Chains A and B, each alone.
Chain A
Amino acid sequence: MLIGIDVGGTYTDGVVFDGDHILSSVKVPTDDNNLLQTLLQVLDELLNSLQNVDQISRIVLSTTLVTNILATGRGERTALVLIPGFGLPHNAYQITTDTFFLNGAIDFRGREIEGLDENEIITLAQQIKKMNFKRVAVVGKFSNRNASQELEIKELFQQIMPEVSIFTGSQVSNQLNFPRRAVTTFYTAMILPEWINFAGQIEAALKSRGLQSEIHILKADGGTMPLHKSLEKPCETVFSGPAASTMGALAITMDTKNSVVVDIGGSTSDLSLMIDGQPLYASRGAEIEGKLTHVESFSLKSVALGGDSPIIYNHETGKVDIAASRLGPAACFNGNAATVTDAFNQFYELGLGDTKRSNNFLGEIAALAQIPINELCDQVISQVFERLETEIKAMFLQWENEPAYRVWEVVNRSPFRLDRIIGIGAAAGIIVPQLARRLGVESVIHAYSPVANALGAAIVRPTMSVQLHIDTQQGICIAQPGGEVESPGNLNNMQMEDARKLAIEILAEQAVQAGLQDYAQDYSIQMEEQFNLIRSYHRSGKIFDVAVQIRPGFIHKYKGVKI
């Protein structure tokens, strides 16, 4: 038996899944101020529905904790120390008010092109110490190619301020993009204390309930990681809720169509795309609090429009609008305001809840606007469709306009051809079929649509990736994660097959270390490129970049759902 719990913005959903069906499911309102409490409430209700808790082999949690910490500024104050070298002016990298700059520079081949200034480092360390920072993130441009300057600074800092925790960029990411690496490292440093605390509480809570099961955290890339792994990269847990929905949509369809997944919650709708049955990634990484990061995430669009969005009459414009902030449930479900759900309920005669209440509350607004109720509903419904349609089309366009760096990518690119819309979330069944009709495609609403997010969390497999950069001329062989790698044999004789094999071995080794040996063979090649280095018309070396990953997918046991 598997448990999946998704802590969303409005509601927290949980399911117990076994074999090919959901045994029980729970939905409770989320208490933003106490996510742990909400989570445990759902867990306890799920456990109460079972006779024997020993059979639970895995629990997967998706939580908004990291997003909340960053959004509310609860993260620990952190100094960001950058080594920007030559290029953009320093003010382009003023990521936070506590940003400091040091001399030194590494180039794209990992060569040191400007040395560090030890006195400058010591002076800065003393300043940081005086300012009472407990955490420091040190990030250098091209530290992904050569981490020595970051490490040297870390060592000096550690000597001067041994009580301070120091994070380096090379430890967090080895992809190109210095500002994203800086932001990701900075966020990691900021949120880690609270995350460790949260993870500890969860572990204790499970123990006190006598649970022996594995505990995993859901990531933005639609995969899981064991709880202890999340202590290294807590940022990866952002946006895991929408990722859970996307994976849930995949779980109930399990085919290779092009889809848009529309997860309609209480106050927001989350959109994501699937191409040939594969979720589409955000090419620029997850954007957290307005800043791009190196966190791998699905391409998501969140629209401030949900089933509980209230309908209001705007006295200034004399028009009917849909407000952004949720006041409570729909009138038909005993709420005290007319909502989008009520408009659909009334117009399409869906018979949801207390239809009289829908009618009454809609009637009040219709009276203000001096239009018949049906006309009001029609206006609201049109607005809902127009906004969703606009956002969906913008997502297609964005996908079609992704940059391309190879001839074949340009030649083989085609416009996005939509096959269908998959509706997820409680209100999806009301809105999505009509939306699909408007777009001229089919819609999928499954019996499990209302809890597909929690289902997705319950059954997805762990993901991991390894990126390997090899520069035979510079004698560089670096893996992320892992750092420098001893090359098997002479680096100069390295061929693409060897580089690929090495990356796969490293991934397998790391999978075993993380206790994920069952998935070590489920890797795929995410990216590979090789360049011959030609100097004076002769080959003088090669550069390889290989990325292998265990892609998002389902645990081996999962073969689809039956109702």
Chain B
Amino acid sequence: MKPTGVLFFPAFDWAITPTHPEREERLLYTRDQLFEEGIMDLPQIREYHPRLASPADIARVHFVVPDLDSHITEAHLVAAGSTLVVADAYMNREIKNAFAIIRPPGHHAMSVSHGNRGFCNINNEAIMIEYMRKKYNIKRVAIIDTDVHHGDGTQEIYYNDPDVLFISFHQDGRTLYPGSGFTSELGGPLAWGTTINIPLLPRTTDEGIHYVIDNLVLPILKEFKPDLIVNSAGQDNHYTDPLADMRFTACGYAILNEKLAPDIAVLEGGYSVETALPYINMGIIMAMAGIDYSNLKEPDYDPGMFIESTKNMNAIEQIVKQQLAVFRHRQDVIEENRRTGPAWFNEYKRIFYDTDYIDEEQKVRISNCPVCSGVRLIDSSAQHRNGRLYDVFCISIPINLCPECHEKGNTIYKDMIKNGKYDLVYLQDRIDDKYLCYDSKTDQEQSY
């Protein structure tokens, strides 16, 4: 049996601010627990060494405004690069699955990145997935976001991609950051039904979450038949997390990963640094490596501590039923949208960067293509902390677009440069693995 890959990168020399939840201490006790257990010495585990992600790896997913150096630190490049290391090891069949225990996290980072939102600057999972789609020709991907916060960044990146299924369960957006992830968010017109949200009431327990896994997530995965399953593995559903209010346990997380059997799990949030993280991280590794985890528990945990209310269970059953139906009807709805929709689908959005206090405005247009999911255009403006206002235009050509949309995207890039209205014009051409950024002030084009 092949081992489970573990890449532990605690970034002991990086913090957002000294007292921020994303600080040096976050994975200290996880380190202590993993090392003291000696789990890395077991034949079932192989430990990996991080590397830096390249500018092209970042540009494959993000339009970083104004440039990479402005707010992407080396720590971000190492965290993103770590996911690429385990991806390579997985694709080279060195390991049967992998867990990247890394920080800083990424699942709140969206396609356009003006700064840090929800502790995230760049999206580690998306960077890994696009790398794998390009390098290893992976077609269908399922991302299960098990963080307590809605994975709005990952959702936005894949909102219009029918080949990437995004499922997120989380404490519901009326009571927790980022305030999104409602059942009505189901994907763009041509990728409808491949974004599935399960907002849960505060204080939901193991029972409630496992009902969602058993009756919604697993059946959907079975039907979707992904080539790759990624767990966006936040640990803040835990009953001791200081930033959220759920009742999930370390054992609950272990069972979840055993059932889900992700090919790659990537750590996201989780800020109960002493009473949750050491135990959850152990539990996930053990479950993924097939090691008996019955001796694992939090020191203060007693079975029977939390009991799910009938009322909440009824509510969960309702959501599960509704979302399963959505998923099963998705093809019909997409066909209908394609047939009746306009040549371009339009959307207007405002995005708030809580960490960096930036307000972004976006106009998004997606071409209604009869065969593919369409080229995506983002017109974004935001005033940065230094006072500078940036108007940028971004063209995204996902890897699964048809040749016509591919060409259309490239033509629009040239047109927008001539247009001269934007500070920066970006082209993200995943098919040709070509990433360009034109700066109208200097009349220079940068290529990644």
Which A residues are closer than 8 A to B by beta carbons? 84, 86-92, 105, 107-109, 113-114, 141-142, 144, 176-180, 284, 292, 400-408, 410-411, 529, 531-534, 536-539, 543
Which B residues are closer than 8 A to A by beta carbons? 8-14, 18-19, 23-25, 28-29, 31-33, 35-39, 41-42, 47-52, 73-75, 78, 81, 242, 274, 278-279, 282, 286, 291-297, 299
A108 near B291: Cβ-Cβ < 8 Å: no
**Which of A292, A401, A403 is close to B41, meaning CB atoms less than 8 Å apart?**
A292
A163, B36: Cα distance in complex, Å:
32
Inter-chain contacts of A179 with B (CB < 8 A) = 38, 41
**Which of B19, B23, B33, B50 is close to A410, meaning CB atoms less than 8 Å apart?**
B50
A177 near B38: Cβ-Cβ < 8 Å: yes
CB distance from B75 to the nearest CB of A (A): 5
Inter-chain contacts of A114 with B (CB < 8 A) = 299
Give B42's nearest chain A residue, CB to CB: A92
Known: A179-B38, A284-B41, A539-B19. A404 touches B25 (CB 8 A): no
**Which of A87, A176, A410 is close to B282, meaning CB atoms less than 8 Å apart?**
A87
CB distance from B73 to the nearest CB of A (A): 8
A179, B242: Cα distance in complex, Å:
33
A179, B292: Cα distance in complex, Å:
17
B12 near A529: Cβ-Cβ < 8 Å: yes
Inter-chain contacts of B13 with A (CB < 8 A) = 406-408
Inter-chain contacts of B50 with A (CB < 8 A) = 404, 410
Known: A88-B39, A284-B41, A405-B12. A538 touches B19 (CB 8 A): yes
Inter-chain contacts of B8 with A (CB < 8 A) = 403, 405
Give A537's nearest chain B residue, CB to CB: B19
Inter-chain contacts of A105 with B (CB < 8 A) = 299
A179, B37: Cα distance in complex, Å:
7
A86, B250: Cα distance in complex, Å:
12
A403 near B291: Cβ-Cβ < 8 Å: no
A411 near B52: Cβ-Cβ < 8 Å: yes
Known contacts A176-B35, A531-B25, A534-B18, then 12 further A-B pairs from the complex at CB < 8 Å, ordered by chain A residue: A88-B291, A89-B292, A89-B295, A108-B36, A177-B35, A177-B36, A404-B49, A405-B10, A407-B78, A411-B74, A532-B18, A532-B25
A400, B29: Cα distance in complex, Å:
26
CB distance from A4 to the nearest CB of B (A): 34
A538, B25: Cα distance in complex, Å:
13
CB distance from B316 to the nearest CB of A (A): 30
Inter-chain contacts of B296 with A (CB < 8 A) = 86-88
CB distance from A169 to the nearest CB of B (A): 11
Give B24's nearest chain A residue, CB to CB: A531
Give B28's nearest chain A residue, CB to CB: A531
15 contacting pairs across A/B (C-beta < 8 A): A87-B296, A141-B37, A176-B32, A176-B35, A178-B38, A401-B48, A403-B48, A403-B49, A406-B13, A407-B13, A410-B9, A410-B52, A411-B78, A531-B12, A532-B23
Known: A89-B292, A109-B274, A407-B13. A534 touches B36 (CB 8 A): no
CB distance from A117 to the nearest CB of B (A): 16
A142 near B36: Cβ-Cβ < 8 Å: yes
B19 near A108: Cβ-Cβ < 8 Å: no
**Which of B23, B37, B242 is close to A88, meaning CB atoms less than 8 Å apart?**
B37
CB distance from B54 to the nearest CB of A (A): 13
**Which of B25, B47, B299 is close to A107, meaning CB atoms less than 8 Å apart?**
B299
Inter-chain contacts of B25 with A (CB < 8 A) = 531-534
A86 near B35: Cβ-Cβ < 8 Å: no
Number of A-B contacts defined by CB within 8 Å: 124
B38 near A180: Cβ-Cβ < 8 Å: yes
A407 near B42: Cβ-Cβ < 8 Å: no
A410, B81: Cα distance in complex, Å:
10
Inter-chain contacts of B10 with A (CB < 8 A) = 405
Known: A178-B37, A403-B8. A89 touches B291 (CB 8 A): yes
Inter-chain contacts of A534 with B (CB < 8 A) = 18-19, 23, 25
B38 near A108: Cβ-Cβ < 8 Å: no
A451, B17: Cα distance in complex, Å:
57
B19 near A407: Cβ-Cβ < 8 Å: no
A378, B280: Cα distance in complex, Å:
57
Inter-chain contacts of B291 with A (CB < 8 A) = 88-89, 92
Give B82's nearest chain A residue, CB to CB: A410
Which 5 residue pairs across A and B have the least CB separation, nearest first? A108-B32, A113-B299, A179-B38, A176-B35, A89-B292
A532, B17: Cα distance in complex, Å:
12
A86 near B295: Cβ-Cβ < 8 Å: yes
CB distance from A434 to the nearest CB of B (A): 33
A405 near B36: Cβ-Cβ < 8 Å: no
Inter-chain contacts of A536 with B (CB < 8 A) = 242
Inter-chain contacts of A87 with B (CB < 8 A) = 33, 37, 282, 295-296
A215, B33: Cα distance in complex, Å:
41
Give A292's nearest chain B residue, CB to CB: B41
CB distance from B121 to the nearest CB of A (A): 14
Give B44's nearest chain A residue, CB to CB: A92
**Which of B14, B18, B29, B297 is close to A108, meaning CB atoms less than 8 Å apart?**
B29
CB distance from B279 to the nearest CB of A (A): 8
A180, B39: Cα distance in complex, Å:
11
A91, B35: Cα distance in complex, Å:
17
CB distance from B44 to the nearest CB of A (A): 9
Inter-chain contacts of A410 with B (CB < 8 A) = 9, 49-52, 74, 78, 81
B74 near A108: Cβ-Cβ < 8 Å: no
Inter-chain contacts of B23 with A (CB < 8 A) = 532, 534
**Which of A88, A113, A407 is close to B295, meaning CB atoms less than 8 Å apart?**
A88
Give A176's nearest chain B residue, CB to CB: B35
A84, B74: Cα distance in complex, Å:
38
Interface centre among A107, A284, A402, A533 (most CB of B within 10 A): A107
Give B298's nearest chain A residue, CB to CB: A86
Give B285's nearest chain A residue, CB to CB: A88
Give B47's nearest chain A residue, CB to CB: A403
Give B33's nearest chain A residue, CB to CB: A108
A171, B25: Cα distance in complex, Å:
28
A531, B38: Cα distance in complex, Å:
22
Inter-chain contacts of B292 with A (CB < 8 A) = 89, 91
Give A177's nearest chain B residue, CB to CB: B38
Inter-chain contacts of B73 with A (CB < 8 A) = 407
CB distance from B145 to the nearest CB of A (A): 26
A401 near B38: Cβ-Cβ < 8 Å: no
A408, B77: Cα distance in complex, Å:
12
A86 near B297: Cβ-Cβ < 8 Å: yes
CB distance from A469 to the nearest CB of B (A): 10
Inter-chain contacts of B12 with A (CB < 8 A) = 405-406, 529, 531
Inter-chain contacts of A90 with B (CB < 8 A) = 295
**Which of A176, A401, A403, A411 is close to B36, meaning CB atoms less than 8 Å apart?**
A176
Give B23's nearest chain A residue, CB to CB: A534
Inter-chain contacts of A284 with B (CB < 8 A) = 41
Inter-chain contacts of B35 with A (CB < 8 A) = 176-177
Inter-chain contacts of B11 with A (CB < 8 A) = 405-407
CB distance from A61 to the nearest CB of B (A): 31
Inter-chain contacts of A406 with B (CB < 8 A) = 11-13
Give B294's nearest chain A residue, CB to CB: A89
A543 near B28: Cβ-Cβ < 8 Å: yes
A533, B18: Cα distance in complex, Å:
10
A406, B32: Cα distance in complex, Å:
15
A107, B274: Cα distance in complex, Å:
10
CB distance from B189 to the nearest CB of A (A): 42
